[in-house]
Structure 1
Amino acid sequence: MTPAVSRAPARGDRRPATPAAPPAVALPPAFEAFYALHYACYLGYALAHVPEPAASRVLGEAMGEVVIRWADIVRRPNPAACAWILVSARIRQRSEGPGRDLADLALRHRAQPALRHPALEYDAFVLHDVLGHSVEDTAEAMGEEISRVRYALAAGRGRALPEAMGHPPASRLPGPARNTPHE
């Protein structure tokens, strides 16, 4: 058996070079910790609005926006709240499909003229009541105080309960007649 003769490739016989691996992007350790801490909650919120694989894609876009703005976000007094605003707004903006029904349901029960923070109430409702996160975890994910989340949940329930039970709100209940004599 004769050994194979190796020959150098001719100029026209070049094969394309194997592309080098893309450079690894080094993310700030604080962002990686933040992402690990909030990923499950954020993904659940995305899944409540859009089905997979769109939920992962939308969450990836939202977290990409967060990491791009990370240096500015961590300079703020409440980085978690800033990140939540970006993430939740992007998810709600991109939501289509079954999540719309959930959003419409929650907003219909909470749409009152006196409602001062509809996004806070809606987000607390989705994270706590729909996804089952504790009030503490909901507050942490949203970057809110626990008392504000409790208030938002109670305010939303207070507006939703009379409608759900078929009763008018307390302000519309008939009171004692003013023209009748009291004995």
Structure 2
Amino acid sequence: MPPYRHGHRRCRPPRPDLVGPWALRDLHYARYLRYAAALLPAADACTAIDEAFDELTETWSHVLAAPSPAACAWQVVRRCVRTLAGPLKPVAHLAEPQQDVLVLHLVLDLPETEVAELTGTDLAAVQMHLRSVRAARPQPTTTT
């Protein structure tokens, strides 16, 4: 029988395996869906996110063991979206993390801190990717 204190049962935190990936989904779902919808038709965007969370549910113990569960989840979300979307031709020359930052920050207008949280990366890494994306932009030529 659980111990009681002042007539009440002590509260224990829920077991992580009972929470599963759904807490992460609830936390980031709207932003994951916005990302998917920026690259896919609406029905495909929902499908991609659902597939990602089906996969995350099956591998949740491995996700929790990763150094950054958010980064692991982002990799699955990105892969599921990109599988349906295909390559991002206008930015195919950029590395995937740069493409992520470009879409999340410059297209969806998420603050840098939210991009870092969503992708499970450091804020400094997000800022570095933004600088490199901006530096890689073709500069307009001037005619004299």
* Band the TM-score falls in, shorter-chain normalisation: 0.7 to 0.9
TM-score by length of 2: 0.81
Which amino acid is 1:147 matched to? Answer: A
Q: Which 4+ residue blocks in structure 1 deviate beyond 2 angstroms?
A: none
Name the CA distance, whole Å, in 1 between partners of 2:27 and 2:139: 35
Which residue number in structure 1 is paired with residue 27 of structure 2? 37
Is 1:140 equivalent to 2:117 in the alignment?
yes
Superposed, 1:15-94 pairs within 5 Å as 28-94=18-84
In structure 2, stretches of 5+ residues that fail to align are 1-16
Name the CA distance, whole Å, in 1 between partners of 2:141 and 2:79: 32
**Deviations 1:84-140 (CA, angstroms, capped at 9, x unpaired):** 1111011111116xxx6xx22223xxx2xxx6xx00000011000000100000011
Which amino acid is 2:38 matched to? Answer: A
Q: CA RMSD, aligned part only?
A: 1.7
Greater share of helix residues, 1 or 2? 2
**Deviations 1:139-158 (CA, angstroms, capped at 9, x unpaired):** 11100000000100110110
TM-score by length of 1: 0.64
State, as a whole percentage, how many aligned pairs show the same letter.
Answer: 30
Which amino acid is 1:35 matched to? Answer: R
Which residue number in structure 2 is paired with residue 122 of structure 1? 99
User: Between Structure 1 and Structure 2, how many residues are aligned?
Assistant: 126
